Structure 1
């Protein structure tokens, strides 16, 4: 039997961290073990900022997870609200991963992700040079376009340098893998006159064996609802990173128009649930408290094995991006919502990948970011039609399309084929 080719993956986060890219890379790596001998270089578990004591004594930690070799880099703890501590943490990973590259032996292919911004791509170039390997750059988010879209930095020199380095990473790749139709346009706009590097579109996915529709009377769905005061309520849920790129502070002001005690057509009290953590969570909690928004609840991140129950506890789910994110980032949370068979309240720019998916399947309603009156009308529609077949069928259509086109096996087999062919 021929020896399998060796593939090195640079992943800022990897399981058990709850970052969506870390989860996707776990499923990708484990799904390609029949084709490749895979090593992942990532940080010690630290997505929420804290690090267990067992990961504080060495520079590197080796382990194996379900057949994937994992080399972890120790990094400093950080606070998501403190920009400088985050930068130190990210640089700790970047330089640690560069050194770790010398520890993993010969590699035939190197795959890196666009996280952390700019540095993820540069790590891939580094791995290509050190290992004399083919380099595949998977772009989940384009930067500095994302930084510019949300105003995270307005320093023109920094933005110009970021663009130079990320274009450098693209140019030195043997293949760029992009996760949305609108992101393809962004790559082509970076390199006009047909000079864009070789690229291919492969959608993100969800493991449909881990997330799927459950009946509302399922014991663990009921237990989740009881724990967080959602029993008997109509739950409009946001699940994921409560961060900068989602305009959640302004959406909370839209939610404020729906006073505590608002009831649906079928008599249920309306509750808005935010599940997760992130840099704007404290602001949202404070705003809701100051404005006596007793119909808003904040729920901690759920372990991956419990995500199926929390997603099924929502009647309708938000999938949102701030204005300017079209062509820059693709919210992978959509795939989990479709897998759970839930209708989607999209706040997404026209022409963005996930908006295409929602509108093509008639799996929910979409508004433009910033069009808060339109968002309010869609919330009212769901409240007025709660419990109807119309709402149920929305979720079913999204789930049907996902099962036919967006399963893990379909996307992972495309990755293996494209990597071997680059």
Structure 2
């Protein structure tokens, strides 16, 4: 029995009962199976949660959760969210009064501020400190949000980021090309790639779609579908513009989900073969994917994405045995590696349309082979059971 304790500090960490993010819930369950004690330190409020925690502490599937009280800031773009980052950071300094001594501290923030208390606590407890990068901040704010790199708050965030990269014992990222980013910012350190993936227990708990949703999905059509947040990062405007290059009335785009861009896009792209459907439950995703012929995911044409991505929807797509159309500019493309689809240039509607027509003109057997390649590759490399075993090699 190993009986070591892992703290995971991530103010957006959720659970199936509260809502996303799920990465650390899945890893935590697997760490427990491998003999570790796991505590997740998160915030009692996240704009991603469906249900807010009602207590400051709870045990969820063997994982001890500590929900630190911060502030309710509404949506992702509310300026109060910045205040919440600093409140969470400050409260993390007081964790010694609440918890069992850690052997490993994984700090996995969006904004990098919690690295400061995590570093202090790791030295106090002589615990190994792992800095985990899921999104590159402040670069994401600069490239997607449009902020200047010279803005004082961006400079402050950049200082915290470099502090984390220099002071942590180990650097982990779910981005396959994160090492290129470290070179670009002149940080001479190695990193370890531990991707996102799928929890096989959960993904097999499939629920059927409601009659209301089923009635909105067209029958006897070639469906190119997208499931997920309808936001800026996924460049869905380019996907929808690609319909201008498709004259075949049998090809239909179906987008399932909600997000900040949905209202705008649904007003701009009014077309009989473009269908927007409201979001569905996580357990219904595989049911919805079964109606698609091709799954789409795209990204903005930004340098940010040359360092790779690890979108959860890609793994859902791969598990569904459906071929994938990937619109991205990157060196390390999972879809190419797994031979499970076609990749085209980011934000290029004509190239996206050509990719769709290539799929349409393939035999059903060719598309099925791509889908099977994807699921086979996923099960070989990206189950959370395998990812957790890869992670503990670092401990």
Range into which the TM-score falls when normalised by the shorter chain: 0.7 to 0.9
Q: Which residue of 2 aligns with 1:308?
A: 286
* TM-superposed deviation, 1:41: 0.9
Residue equivalent to 2:258: 277
Q: Runs of 5+ in structure 1 lacking a partner?
A: 264-269
Tell me the TM-score normalized by structure 1: 0.82
Residue 240 of structure 1 contacts residue 275 of structure 1 at CA under 8 Å; is this kept in 2? yes
Q: Secondary structure at the match of 1:117?
A: coil
CA displacement 1:208-236 (0-9 Å, x = unmatched): 3443699xxxx936958524333433321
Cα displacement (A) at 1:28: 0.2
Q: State whether residues 6 and 38 of structure 2, in contact with CA within 8 Å, keep that contact through their aligned partners in structure 1.
A: yes
Alpha-carbon distance change, 322 to 223 in structure 1, aligned in 2, over 3 angstroms: same
What are the superposed Cα offsets for residues 237-260 of structure 1, whole Å, 9 maximum, x if unpaired? 22222223222233322235547x
Contact (CA 8 Å) 2:224, 2:295: kept in 1 or not?
yes
Within a 5 Å distance, the mapping from 1:16-55 to structure 2 comes to 16=16, 17-19=18-20, 22-33=21-32, 34-44=34-44, 46-48=46-48, 55=54
Q: Distance in 2 between matches of 1:378 and 1:81?
A: 33
Structure 2 Cα separation of the partners of residues 375 and 201 of structure 1: 29
Deviation at 1:315, TM superposition (A): 2.0
Question: Post-superposition shift, 1:155?
Answer: 4.7
Question: In the alignment, is the contact (CA less than 8 A) between 2:47 and 2:74 conserved in 1?
Answer: no
User: Match of 2:203?
Assistant: 211
**Contact 2:13 2:25 (C-alpha < 8 Å) held by counterparts:** no
Q: Paired residue for 1:119?
A: 113
Choose which of 395, 406, 418 in structure 1 pairs with 2:371.
Answer: 395
Decide whether aligned partners of structure 1 residues 152 and 79 sit closer, same or farther in structure 2, where only a CA change above 3 A counts: farther
The aligned residue for residue 369 of structure 1 is 346
SS at match of 1:302: coil
Match of 2:144 in 1: 150
Matches within 5 A, 1:315-334: 315-323=293-301, 324=303, 325-327=305-307, 329-334=309-314
Distance apart, 1:69 and its partner CA: 0.5
Q: CA RMSD in A?
A: 2.9
CA shift digits 1:176-214 (9 cap, x unpaired): 11223311221233335xx31x52222322123443699
Q: Residues of 2 paired with 1:286 and 1:78: CA distance?
A: 28
Q: 1:304 to 1:226 in 2, by over 3 A?
A: closer
Query: 2:275 and 2:6 mapped to 1: Cα distance?
Result: 43
Please identify, of 151-160 and 162-171, the stretch whose mean Cα deviation from structure 2 is larger.
151-160
1:299 equivalent to 2:299? Answer no
Pair 1:141 & 2:122 matched: no
Contact kept in structure 1, 2:88 and 2:114, CA below 8 Å: no
CA distance in 2: counterparts of 1:97 and 1:273, whole angstroms? 43
The correspondence of residues 89-100 of structure 1 with structure 2, limited to 5 A, is: 89-100=84-95
The 2-side partners of 1:300 and 1:381 are apart by 28
| Structure 2 residue 317 is the aligned partner of structure 1 residue 337 | yes
Distance 1:227 1:130 in 2: 59
Deviations 1:25-63 (A, max 9, x none): 1110000113311111112364447765x73xxxx6211
The gaps in structure 2 that reach 5 residues or longer are none
SS at the partner of 1:317? strand
Secondary structure of the equivalent of 1:156?
Answer: coil
Report the secondary structure of 1:393's partner residue: helix
Question: Are 1:39 and 1:69, in contact at CA under 8 Å, matched by a contact in 2?
Answer: yes
Aligned counterpart for 1:232 among listed residues 220, 225, 236 = 220
Compared CA separation, residues 90 and 287, structure 1 to 2 (3 A): farther
Offset at residue 121 of structure 1 (A): 4.0
Q: Is the CA contact 1:182–1:326 (under 8 Å) kept in the aligned structure 2? A: yes
Cα deviation, 1:325-370, whole Å, max 9, x if unaligned, reads 2216432321121111111110111303xx2x21123211111213
CA pair 106-156 structure 1, distance change in 2 beyond 3 A: same
Cα gap change, 1:358 to 1:14, in 2 (>3 Å)? same
- Measure the CA separation in 1 of the matches of 2:273 and 2:118: 46
1:183 aligns with 2:182: no
In structure 1, what is the Cα distance between the partners aligned to 2:228 and 2:295?
Answer: 11
SS at match of 1:383: helix
**Could you list the per-position Cα deviations for residues 247-302 of structure 1 after superposition, in whole angstroms to 9, with x for gaps in the alignment?**
2233322235547x811xxxxxx3322223333222222323xxx22332333333
Provide the rounded CA distance (Å) in 1 between the counterparts of 2:198 and 2:51: 27
* 2:296–2:324 Cα contact (<8 Å) kept: yes
